[in-house]
Amino acid sequence: MSEVLTPKVAGQGGISGDGVLGHPQWPVLKQAVEAIRPWQRKDGSIDFDAEGAPSREDAARTLGRVLDALEQLSPLLEHDAAYHCALAADLRAWADNGFGVPDFLDSLLAFQPAADRRDGLQHLVVFPMYTQNGNPDRNLEAVVFRVVWPGWLAELERTRYDNPLFVPITFEDFTPGYDTNSAVLFPETVAVREAPERWTWGAIFCDREAARFRAVTSAAVETLGLDLPEEAARLVTDQELAQQTYVLWDMIHDRTHSHGDLPFDPFMIKQRAPFWMYGLEELRCDLTSFKEAVKLQAEGHPMGLGVQYAILFDRLFRFPVTGERVRNYDGLGGQLLFAYLHKHDAVRWTDNTLHIDWELAPQVTNQLCAEIETLYRDGIDRPKLVHWLAAYDLVATYLSPHPGSVWAKGPDALDLSLPPRKLVDDVLPDEFPLSMFYEALAKKLREVIASTKGITGGSTLRGAA
């Protein structure tokens, strides 16, 4: 367990060195990709008739610089040889097809980072893609990152939390699509001619998650006058410890989407559901991670307590006041957790100071997890609309609905002759508005939350130095 107590920077495992970033062709590739991005339409194609568009020759020459740089960089990453070969073919095919809607399915299928999760392993990827919580258009992006896979995490995945598709990673450098709030690299964001039968990996940038957590939590703690236990304070000030805490949280959260009583598609990809259903699903996965962290702590695992603090602080402080209020399902989950803790006396706001009962909070958090699990278990025997209404009732027990809500008036106010997916239209954009507590907190944290756009673990460490 000593590896947990002295976490390492990704790349200090068996693999080290600047690799791609130290090579003169990386800035060439990056600049060429950045030149192409503004030429692209939302679907990734290039409109040569648009104002400011390049000539076809200019576009081909710029893409040629990407290909030439890739050819020189690829030998540094022998484990990605098959992917880079397929990538070059997809780039050439895009040009040969007149830079229409790109199709990078072949290179996407060739990229298999989950098959080799060596700690510190470096990758260079180029895809036409949108970035979740970032750029909504399928622009060409280039990203260099490293895998985070310490031995203690590999052992937990092998023996306890099987998740063969999960790949925790850290940023090294990226094009503007990732100079945003996006903290994931998901294959389903890539432009392809057809979706494969199944996705074989999903990557999460733990350094951005940890850096964002540290910045917002530090500001919230100061604003709210919260006294932190020693281990919690250490987590907030230590970027590397926070990163390793997040990889464990993410690994358990990710696998929970397909575990337990699931009365619907766990990722809800093929469904149109009210946004509180998405909020409860994400909260269920986080609270399951919290429950497992409590077990790990009881067994003496040194990462268990940190995961509990990370989930509590991110959910209570950052999630409710981040992003727009339109169908903000992660924000809703954070609001629900705070209200539940508050109504069960695990959290108190007195004399403009927030107090957390550190012994009671884990018990109450696990209690909320049990309520959501019961909702899911009972949902297996319910029609979809009845399940949605039961979920609404659970949330509304602790959060006040908007006074103009149709759903809050119950089934008699809904047109039950319509299919459930049509009744989603009656959901207000902000069905459960922020409480006065969160309205005040949002104003005080607005600037620090905005400052975390594009943040990485490296930028945080440099800022602290």
Domain boundaries, the chain: 2-200, 209-457
- Smallest CA-to-CA distance from 419 within 385, 391, 386 is with 385
What does 296-311 look like in DSSP terms, one character per residue?
HHHTT-TTHHHHHHHH
Res 17: pLDDT: 52
What does 393-453 look like in DSSP terms, one character per residue?
HHHHHHSPPPTT-SGGG-GGGS-TTS-HHHHGGGS-TTSSPPPHHHHHHHHHHHHHHHHTT
Q: How far is CA 146 from CA 20, 113, 127, 237, 259, in A?
A: 11, 10, 17, 22, 28
Q: How far is CA 283 from CA 242, 253, 354, 377, 428, in A?
A: 20, 9, 22, 16, 20
pTM: 0.92
- CB within 8 Å of 166: residues ≥ 6 apart: 114, 157, 201, 202, 204, 250, 251, 254, 255
Alpha helices by DSSP H, listed for 97-228, are: 105-110, 151-159, 206-224
Res 269: pLDDT: 52
Q: How far is CA 263 from CA 141, 161, 212, 382, in A?
A: 37, 22, 33, 9
Q: Which parts of the chain register pLDDT below 50?
A: 1-16, 460-465
| Residue 142 main-chain phi, psi, to 5 deg | -125, 130
Res 15: pLDDT: 43
Res 2: pLDDT: 31
Q: Cα 196 to the chain's mean position, in Å? A: 22
CB atoms within 10 A of CB 177: 25
- 201 in Cβ contact with 113 (< 8 Å): yes
Res 258: pLDDT: 86
